[in-house]
Amino acid sequence: MTGTAVPVAPQDLYIPETVDRLRATFDSGVTRPAAWRRRQLRALRRLLTDHTSDIEEALYDDLRKGRTESHLTEIGQVLAEVEHALGHLDRWMRPRRVGVPLNMKPATARIHPEPLGVCLIIAPWNYPLTLTLNPLVGALSAGNAAVVKPSELAPATSALLAELLPRYLEAVAVVEGAVEETTELLAQRFDHIFYTGNGTVGRIVAAAAAKNLTPITLELGGKSPVFIDETADMTVTARRLAWGKFTNAGQTCVAPDYVLVTEAARDSLLAALPKAIGEMFGPNPRASADYGRIVNDRHFRRLTGLLAEGDLLAGGVSDAGERYLAPTVLADVPQGAAVMAEEIFGPILPVLTVRDVHEAIDFINARDKPLSLYAFTHDREARQALLDKTSSGGLVYNAPVIHLGAPNLPFGGVGESGMGAYHGKTSFDTFSHRKSVLSKPTRPDTLRLLYAPHTSRSFAFIAKAVSRTHPLVGRKR
């Protein structure tokens, strides 16, 4: 029989083989002991310290990140996550004893955390080291094997991770590539999928995971609002706002996306913002070693297309040749402007005026639930209203972004901004199954009244047992 051979794409061969190899490693039990987990975390720490200069160079090539920013937002973030995990791993792994109802005694009950298996981590381009390795810290801490898919839009960092991770870690594989490779990965069976990116791809990930009933964590984005009123220290507010917005040229999932400022605070804020930008990046941010560039031409064109509406208060200067867009503030932006229709993910800050916190809350609640909500106010009633009447992944008073550095705070979204969370112990829990284990002795056989045939005595016992286990049964409210 003759015919034309159908070419087989390389990923169709090596991706399934890679997943199978990691599953065999996990099934061997090698990843379960605490000693193995600690060894992997220390190896990851060694990777970061051995190759600091290589990482700095890759981040500069991809996003023109300065050395200080690379340490603050990338290398240092991962090292802190590793150290936290190493310091708490024994406690996280320890089974937790819980009580049992009186009618079940004698018995003991414990919750045992156990690894899930082989996990897939799909990372974005904007923080290509942090958002690849921080979830991996959780996966390794919990005793899993992992496939890591870095973003092809940060090619230098992706190539470096592909070279280094398999060299330092024992149960981690790196798959580079774009849509084709990601699609093939999603066709495999994993035990958990962790995706950071946009909602469009998040839905694709969720649909693929559903075919195998694979649990997922989706770290998405959204338009994170900032509320500012006249009780705020405007000089400090402007500095913190400029830092949170324009770090990484605004390409941060929790960056302030737009500002809702009260009428009483508007003028002082608009006077303070250009000063704060000048303090940080100088009169010509293009020459600043601390100001990055837009990741690619497509995103650059999208961002410059958002500058048409609103009064240009600061910035607006761009250079397509080096994908430079200055830190930009747009004042008095119409609510229906294009810049208000989608997550900006760049160095453009729209400012809108509201009467008070209640109008701001109505504005926020009329849109998708954001990943973060920031409020610069010392008004206790305003702070409480924002806490009680809005929903967001996180709420931070008087500072943007910094909640990511608190390992005991779960980080994640709600609704359109994501599902699930991580950081610290939450990462360990995300990549673990909490197995319920109950042990009951056979002597004395206290369950004998549950056995058939049932009598009036056994019925009375069962009815009493049910009422004790469920105290609302038969109780008048």
Residue numbers annotated as active site: 219, 253
Residue 191 neighbours by CB distance under 10 Å: 19
State how far the Cα of 346 lies from the Cα of 246, in Å rounded to an integer: 8
State how far the Cα of 312 lies from the Cα of 328, in Å rounded to an integer: 8
Q: What are phi and psi of 217, to 5 degrees?
A: -120, 125
Contacts of 411 (CB under 8 A, 6+ apart): 219, 393, 394, 403, 404, 421, 422, 423, 426
Q: Which residue has the tokens 């049932």?
A: 454
DSSP 2: -
- CA Rg value for the chain: 26
What's 151-168 look like in SS3?
CCCCHHHHHHHHHHHHHH
What are the contacts of 164-168 at 24+ separation with CB within 8 A?
A: 164/47, 164/51, 165/47, 167/47, 168/43, 168/44, 168/46, 168/47
State how far the Cα of 168 lies from the Cα of 159, in Å rounded to an integer: 15
Q: Is 85 left (phi over 0), alpha (psi -120 to 50) or beta?
A: alpha
CA distances from 304 to 253, 284, 297, 345, 435 (A): 19, 18, 11, 12, 51
